């Protein structure tokens, strides 16, 4: 890799307040030298390391001198000056490793302008740490909330590149986020395993799939595993229609039914409530059921008397090694980010659109959610083969 000798012999982690830095080299002009910061923020997913590797390799193979500072545990590291200088070794052997070598945390965007318990102005602190390290840019890997803070830092004058991470695939401006297909694989396998036991026992099985407020993960895992009913937040369900689908299967000789239910699935009645009423209703439901799947299970049981079982794979969906698709996607996005940095082009998310990596201005995509539209091709195709969406 193209690190200079100085960095290759850095053995010690440089962690702590910026003023404690043990190394500081003068910024050089031109493309020969870059000094970048990296951070991963929000919930983790499978290809974070692979993406950072793509960025760093894309730079180190094209310039003589590269300094990489990793901020620990998301924006927390940037706020409190907790970082370490990374060497080539840090990026070796991490293509297949899940999680993030930098650690991550959730730092809500809405609290970024609120001083911390000691009165620290977080935005000012982040800017100061960026400038003290004399960074050329900060590469931020994260989902929607992370992206909003990335855009805020851009507005504050920092050079920012955002890379779209999430198993939810809900980032506007990119067809695909890294992490999504790895999670689809895991959720699909979970439903596959349920299939054999469901058919032996003639039961109704519900598998609850992550995805926050959107249904991409449930939709894809549901189709991939042959689920009979798929419930997603974008298509509020009518429980009688769900029961109708189960009974129709019974009449056709299938004693079991498998439902893939998104953690954000919502009934038709609840979807009609105003914001305040819905919040209250959700709080009441939370006292009765651990999650939406248990509510759906109770409603089906009450109407059919059938035995229902609920499985929640939960955070396993974010775990383990990235699948090959995500390794390719994250390498491409990371490499494209490196290209932008080499050209001194900042203020963008790097997305995938129609199979091509594209720069998307942060001001255009920040704060927007990519949801499944009820008339999406995937939904139409699934309905045509008899999958019920409970609508």
292 lines the binding site for ligand F6P (CB under 6 A)? no
Q: E-assigned strands of the chain?
A: 33-40, 65-71, 83-86, 137-142, 160-164, 204-209, 229-231, 257-262, 308-311, 348-353, 356-361
Which residue, 166 or 335, is less far from ligand F6P as judged by CB?
166
Within residues 326-385, the interface with ligand F6P by CB under 6 A covers: none
State the number of binding residues for ligand F6P (CB under 6 A).
Answer: 11
Using the rule CB under 6 A, give the single segment among 188-196, 207-215, 278-286, 375-383 that binds ligand F6P. 207-215
d(CA 239, CA 249): 16
Build a one-symbol-per-residue string for 250-289: x at contacts with ligand F6P by CB under 6 A, - elsewhere: -------------x--------------------------
Task: Name the one range near ligand F6P by CB under 6 A: 110-118, 130-138, 160-168, 303-311.
Answer: 160-168
What per-residue string of b and e applies to 347-365 under the rule 16 or more CB within 10 Å gives b?
bbbbbbeeeebebbebeeb
Structural contact between residues 314 and 210, judged by C-beta atoms closer than 8 angstroms = yes
The minimum distance between CB 46 and ligand F6P, in angstroms, equals 11
Among 37, 98, 173, 211, binds ligand F6P (CB under 6 A): 211
CA 26 – CA 47 distance, rounded (Å): 33
Taking CA atoms, 299 is separated from 262, 289, 293, 302, in Å, by 16, 12, 10, 5
Residue in the shown chain whose Cβ atom is closest to ligand F6P: 210
Q: How far is CA 165 from the centre of its chain?
A: 4
Question: Which range, of 12-20, 87-95, 108-116, 164-172, touches ligand F6P by CB under 6 A?
Answer: 164-172
Out of 210, 227, 308, 329, point to the residue binding ligand F6P (CB under 6 A): 210
Bridge partner residues of 258 (DSSP):
205
Distance in angstroms (rounded) separating the CA atoms of residues 239 and 261:
12
Minimum separation from the CB atom of position 255 to ligand F6P (A): 32
Interface with ligand F6P (CB under 6 A), residue from 318, 327, 359, 370: 318
Residue from 67, 82, 90, 168 in contact with ligand F6P (CB under 6 A): 168
Q: Which 105-144 residues touch ligand F6P, going by CB under 6 A? A: 106, 143
**Nearest CA-CA partner of 217 in 153, 261, 268, 173:** 261
- Give catalytic status of residue 82 as yes or no: no
The verdict on 74 binding ligand F6P (CB under 6 A) reads no
Q: What is the DSSP string of 21-61?
A: -S---PPPSSTTEEEEEEEE-SS--TTHHHHHHHHHHHHHT
Instruction: Give the count of alpha carbons within 13 A of 337, CB side only.
Output: 33
Q: Which stretch binds ligand F6P (CB under 6 A): 61-69, 92-100, 112-120, 210-218?
A: 210-218
Q: How far is CA 357 from the centre of its chain?
A: 18
Among 34, 36, 41, 43, binds ligand F6P (CB under 6 A): 43
- 167 forms part of the interface with ligand F6P (CB under 6 A): yes
Tell me which H or E stretch contains 268.
helix 268-271
Nearer to ligand F6P, 106 or 298 (CB): 106
Q: State which residue, 236 or 264, has the beta carbon closest to ligand F6P.
A: 264
Query: Least separation, in Å, of the C-beta of 212 and ligand F6P?
Result: 4
Half-sphere exposure of 375 (CA within 13 A, CB side): 0
Q: CA-CA distance, 375 to 237, in Å (whole number)?
A: 15
Identify the active-site residue in 90, 168, 228, 326: 168
Catalytic residue IDs: 168
- Using CB under 6 A, list all residues that contact ligand F6P: 43, 106, 143, 166-168, 210-212, 263, 318
């Amino acid at each position: 890799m193209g690190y200079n000798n100085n960095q290759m012999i850095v053995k010690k982690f440089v962690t702590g307040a910026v003023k404690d830095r043990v190394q500081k080299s003068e910024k050089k002009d031109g493309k020969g030298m870059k000094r970048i910061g990296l951070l991963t923020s929000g919930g983790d997913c499978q290809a974070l390391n692979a993406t950072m590797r793509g960025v760093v390799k894309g730079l180190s193979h094209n310039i003589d001198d590269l300094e990489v500072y990793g901020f620990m545990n998301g924006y927390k590291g940037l706020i409190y000056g907790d970082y370490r200088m990374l060497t080539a070794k840090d990026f070796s052997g991490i293509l297949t490793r899940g999680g993030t070598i930098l650690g991550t945390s959730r730092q809500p965007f809405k609290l970024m302008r609120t001083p911390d318990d000691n009165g620290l102005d977080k935005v000012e602190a982040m800017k100061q740490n960026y400038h003290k390290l004399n960074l050329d840019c900060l590469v931020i890997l994260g989902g929607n909330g992370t992206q909003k803070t990335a855009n805020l830092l851009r507005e504050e004058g920092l050079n920012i590149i955002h890379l779209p991470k999430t198993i939810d695939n809900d980032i506007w401006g990119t067809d695909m986020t890294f992490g999504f297909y790895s999670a689809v694989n895991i959720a699909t396998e979970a439903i596959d395993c349920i299939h054999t036991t469901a058919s032996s026992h003639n039961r109704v099985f519900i598998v609850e799939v992550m995805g926050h407020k959107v249904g991409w993960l449930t939709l894809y895992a549901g189709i991939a595993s042959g689920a009979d009913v798929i419930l997603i937040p974008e298509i509020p369900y009518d429980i009688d229609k769900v029961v109708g689908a189960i009974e129709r299967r019974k009449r056709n000789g299938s004693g079991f039914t498998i439902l893939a239910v998104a953690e954000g699935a919502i009934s038709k009645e609840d979807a009609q409530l105003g914001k305040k009423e819905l919040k209250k209703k959700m709080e009441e439901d939370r006292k009765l059921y651990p999650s939406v799947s248990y509510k759906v299970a109770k409603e089906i049981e009450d109407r059919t008397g059938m035995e229902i079982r609920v499985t929640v794979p939960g955070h396993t969906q974010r775990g383990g090694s990235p699948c090959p698709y995500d390794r390719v996607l994250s390498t491409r996005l990371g490499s494209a980010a490196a290209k932008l940095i080499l050209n001194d082009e900042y203020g963008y998310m790097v997305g995938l659109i129609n199979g091509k990596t594209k720069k998307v201005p942060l001001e255009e995509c920040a704060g927007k959610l990519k949801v499944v539209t009820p008339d999406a091709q995937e939904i139409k195709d699934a309905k045509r083969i008899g999958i019920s969406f409970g609508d």
